[in-house]
Structure 1
Amino acid sequence: MTYRSIETLNYEAQLIEKSNKIRQSFSEVGIEDFRVFPSEPVNYRMRAEFRVWHEGNDLYYIMFNPETREKIRKDDFAPGSKLINNLMQAVIDHVIDKPLLRNKLFQVDFLTTKSNQAIVSLLYHRPLEEEWQTQAKELHGYLQSFADVVHLIGRARKQKVVFGSESVIENVQVNGQTYQSIQTENSFTQPNSGINEKMIEWVSEQAGQNNHDLLELYCGNGNFTLPLAGQFNSVLATEISKGSVAAAREGAKLNDIKNVTVVRMSAEEFSAALSGELESKRAADADIHSFDCKTVLVDPPRAGLDKDTLKLVSQYQRIIYISCNPSTLIDNIKAISATHKVTAAAMFDQFPYTDHIETGVVLEKHN
């Protein structure tokens, strides 16, 4: 991502510039008509990571300019949620004069929610001995006044100490309904909660109401899975991360959703199991061949869909594709252009003031 400062660039101007570049890129596959979903200009990030800089008696956060590697002091963080900003200062205030807590502390991570819950993770270059744990417990108690729920986690080499829980519960608003989403420390979650809700609503609108099943690859913690479940007979979802699978399953229970099956498999493994090229107990236990899927939803990593997964998704009537990398999405669209055409497209500005933007397309099978 290209580094740009909130203080030096008007948000509307940067979004126009960014969206025009995306339109130009996608013109080679015949797509120019995008719905554009803007972000809030400040306090939009629900998670953030900061390096900790020790300078004499002073202690403060820094971030690095990714282009120049210049250190930038961060006493506050305009993109971060208000809760992140409050907790940033609270941690520094409590730790700065306590050698046991500040010694070899090199990073602090914050995961927050709109439901006013948070996880603060302290990362160290030394073991976390009993004396540290005593003082960390006091820090955990001190932070409780800043949110409804605050968990504290200490991390060092081959060591993790948890005060509270490793997960928080987020309230996700979609089409006037609230879903509870389990978000776990050190696992992927969408960083921009407002844009995430717009993304889910757009996917929901494109999916419509159906009398068949949904196949979802790369389902993560069930971010799309749970809100979409009511629009399909059943949902068959796959995810490789053990923590994310657990969060998706627990989220289904929390929301009393009973028509979702989450299988811990990579997209590549699932493709091979569905085609009969791979024997898998997990696939057999889930009875993957019993589902009547005509729509497939994918939200892959930056590398996009591999050859075998592309072959799999091209068999479905409709593909809803959320992408964090326009270049690989364009390549994937070209690869299945013989069987599918794009019928809708959108941009989601997850990361204002950078050159990054999420895109989404719907591909329908040719008649």
Structure 2
Amino acid sequence: MKIEIKKSGINGEGIGYVDRQPVFVEGALPSETVEAEIIEKNKTYMTAKTRQIIHKSKHRCTPKCHIYKQCKACSLMIADYELQCQMKEENLKQSLMKYASVSSSLVRPIIKSDQIFHYRNACKIPFGMEGKKLVTGMFQPNSNYFTPIEECIVHDKQIERIRKEILIILNDYHYKAYDSSVKKGFRTLAIRLLGNHAQVTLVTGEDVIDEECVQRILKIPSVISLWQSIHTQKKTVEIFGNKMIPLSEKRFLDFDLKGVHVKLSPRSFFQLNTQQANRLYDIVKEEAGQVNLLVEAYSGIGGISFTLRDNAKEIIGIESVKDAVVNANMSAKENRLDHMHFICDDAAYKLEYLSKHKEIDMLVVDPPRSGLDENMLNVILRSRIKKIIYISCNPATLGKNLAVLKKKYQVNKVIPLDMFPQTAWIESVTVLTRK
């Protein structure tokens, strides 16, 4: 079927129309004409795959990754960086208009990433077997088909070096990938690199890792912290198991965040593009202004709160991950930031309590891709919070949330950042003030 691609979808696919019905075409770019095979038909849309490009976009390029089609994580690798940013910015504008009637004039130009390859400071990559050899790779979307990865070109080069050295060591001890029937084997390799220091977590079944193997991993240059996570549950999206075992004397990954010495545990979240994360924090600081009480929901290790330490007389962070809260409070104490403290609790529940007992000047939220849930939205609408800074990694959920928040709040501006080059993901900062 011949299809003209009019625009791009939120996952990086091309969108054309057949009999006025949208067709989402994998592997196609805006302005292209393609021969496509229909994969699925629904009442309101169809999905298809590109079989042949009849008219090629001037922005199309050859993917630098040879398993691009199998992995599918970097869906925009077929486009040059100029088009990637155009597509992301346009998708953000379309989502905000579609769901919340937010004018595109409020969306600022996207802030591009200086690094478009080798920018990711962390990886969580599954183990698998290639013959008798333990390897790392990716499961293809919605399948159990495992594809080994020799080199990932969006990972920091040091992460790739560490990953390969760990695989050599584990294979020297003849370790295998996880087998659910015996609850043993290696499931996931997690590596985080900040500065020149790396923290490694081996997610396994009920295995005891040889001490000599542990010491060899700790001798890998840059590796200063090593953990084992026991994970034997089935059908879970959680990477880490409930049991965490430190295998090194040094448990935390220490780094400098805007002049604050911060500690990270394996479970604690930190932005994956360090350079763009610093730009994100600068934007939030510029937009925050001076306030008395600032609350950060979904605060993680407190990265944004620490950036805003001079913008508020009191800062309270709310986070549901206990390890992250422990890290944040340790960092606040170590840096003598007595006006800051972090609470382990449900964001909506604790925010409602705080809003009843304190006058909150500003709320900063950085929720997961699913956005703010109904409870959180209702708490915000019932509160008298004067200003909101909403950090989002999903234009669709951001648009849906803004549609609700607009009942009481005015959208002032939306600032997009490209945190994840080669992928369809886009980060944004939205500033709202109470009407």
Q: How much does 1:302 deviate?
A: 2.7
Structure 1 residues 303 and 139: CA distance shift in structure 2, 3 A: same
Q: How much does 1:68 deviate?
A: 7.0
Q: How much does 1:264 deviate?
A: 2.0
Structure 1 residues 124 and 305: CA distance shift in structure 2, 3 A: closer
- Aligned residue for 2:124? 49
Separation of aligned partners in 1, 2:374 and 2:75: 38
- Aligned residue for 1:180? 261
Q: Give the 3-state SS of the residue equivalent to 1:24 in structure 2.
A: helix
- Aligned residue for 2:245? 161
Q: Give the 3-state SS of the residue equivalent to 2:310 in structure 1.
A: helix
Separation of aligned partners in 2, 1:215 and 1:324: 20
Q: How much does 1:11 deviate?
A: 2.5
Match for residue 103 of structure 2 among 30, 35, 49? 30
**In the alignment, does 2:173 pair up with 1:98?**
yes
- Aligned residue for 2:164? 89
Task: Kindly provide the CA deviation profile for residues 226-283 of structure 1, in whole angstroms up to 9, marking residues without a partner as x.
Answer: 110111111122112211111111121233322112222212211442466xxxxxxx
- Aligned residue for 2:91? 21
Q: Are 2:140 and 2:146, in contact at CA under 8 Å, matched by a contact in 1?
A: yes
Separation of aligned partners in 2, 1:140 and 1:152: 11
Q: Give the 3-state SS of the residue equivalent to 1:122 in structure 2.
A: strand
- Aligned residue for 1:235? 315
Q: Are 1:348 and 1:357, in contact at CA under 8 Å, matched by a contact in 2?
A: yes
- Greater relative contact order (CA < 8 Å, ≥ 6 in sequence): 1
Structure 1 residues 252 and 353: CA distance shift in structure 2, 3 A: same
Separation of aligned partners in 2, 1:55 and 1:226: 45
Q: Are 1:271 and 1:308, in contact at CA under 8 Å, matched by a contact in 2?
A: no
Q: Percent identity?
A: 23
Q: How much does 1:80 deviate?
A: 0.9
- Aligned residue for 1:138? 215
Match for residue 193 of structure 1 among 267, 270, 274? 274
Structure 1 residues 5 and 336: CA distance shift in structure 2, 3 A: closer
Q: How much does 1:319 deviate?
A: 0.9
Note the aligned Cα RMSD (angstroms): 2.5
Separation of aligned partners in 1, 2:309 and 2:164: 40
Q: Give the 3-state SS of the residue equivalent to 1:197 in structure 2.
A: helix
- 29-38 vs 199-208, which moves further: 29-38
Q: How much does 1:6 deviate?
A: 7.3
Q: Are 2:387 and 2:433, in contact at CA under 8 Å, matched by a contact in 1?
A: yes
**In the alignment, does 2:432 pair up with 1:363?**
yes
Task: Name the aligned partner's letter for residue 103 of structure 2.
Answer: G
Q: Are 1:154 and 1:160, in contact at CA under 8 Å, matched by a contact in 2?
A: yes
Q: How much does 1:123 deviate?
A: 2.5
TM-score (structure 2 length as normaliser): 0.72
**In the alignment, does 2:398 pair up with 1:324?**
no
Task: Kindly provide the CA deviation profile for residues 52-84 of structure 1, in whole angstroms up to 9, marking residues without a partner as x.
Answer: 232234332211332776543312221111221
- Aligned residue for 1:286? none
Q: Give the 3-state SS of the residue equivalent to 1:293 in structure 2.
A: coil
- Aligned residue for 1:149? 224
Higher helix proportion (structure 1 or 2) = 1
Q: How much does 1:37 deviate?
A: 1.9
Q: Are 1:100 and 1:135, in contact at CA under 8 Å, matched by a contact in 2?
A: no
- Aligned residue for 2:288? 207
Structure 1 residues 16 and 211: CA distance shift in structure 2, 3 A: closer
Q: How much does 1:346 deviate?
A: 0.9
Structure 1 residues 34 and 72: CA distance shift in structure 2, 3 A: farther
Task: Name the aligned partner's letter for residue 280 of structure 2.
Answer: M
**In the alignment, does 2:202 pair up with 1:128?**
no
Q: How much does 1:341 deviate?
A: 1.2
Task: Name the aligned partner's letter for residue 237 of structure 1.
Answer: G
- 96-105 vs 230-239, which moves further: 96-105
Aligned residues: 342
- Aligned residue for 1:348? 417
Structure 1 residues 8 and 31: CA distance shift in structure 2, 3 A: closer
Q: Are 1:304 and 1:332, in contact at CA under 8 Å, matched by a contact in 2?
A: yes
**Any unmatched runs of 5+ in structure 1?**
277-288
Q: How much does 1:187 deviate?
A: 2.9
- Aligned residue for 2:255? 170
- Aligned residue for 1:285? none
Q: Are 2:134 and 2:175, in contact at CA under 8 Å, matched by a contact in 1?
A: no
Q: Are 2:129 and 2:176, in contact at CA under 8 Å, matched by a contact in 1?
A: no
Structure 1 residues 56 and 122: CA distance shift in structure 2, 3 A: same
TM-score (structure 1 length as normaliser): 0.84
- Aligned residue for 2:38? none
Q: Give the 3-state SS of the residue equivalent to 1:137 in structure 2.
A: helix
Task: Kindly provide the CA deviation profile for residues 312-353 of structure 1, in whole angstroms up to 9, marking residues without a partner as x.
Answer: 434222111111222222122221323221112111222222
**In the alignment, does 2:191 pair up with 1:107?**
no
- Aligned residue for 2:350? 270
Task: Name the aligned partner's letter for residue 185 of structure 2.
Answer: K
Separation of aligned partners in 2, 1:154 and 1:267: 26
Higher-Rg structure is 2
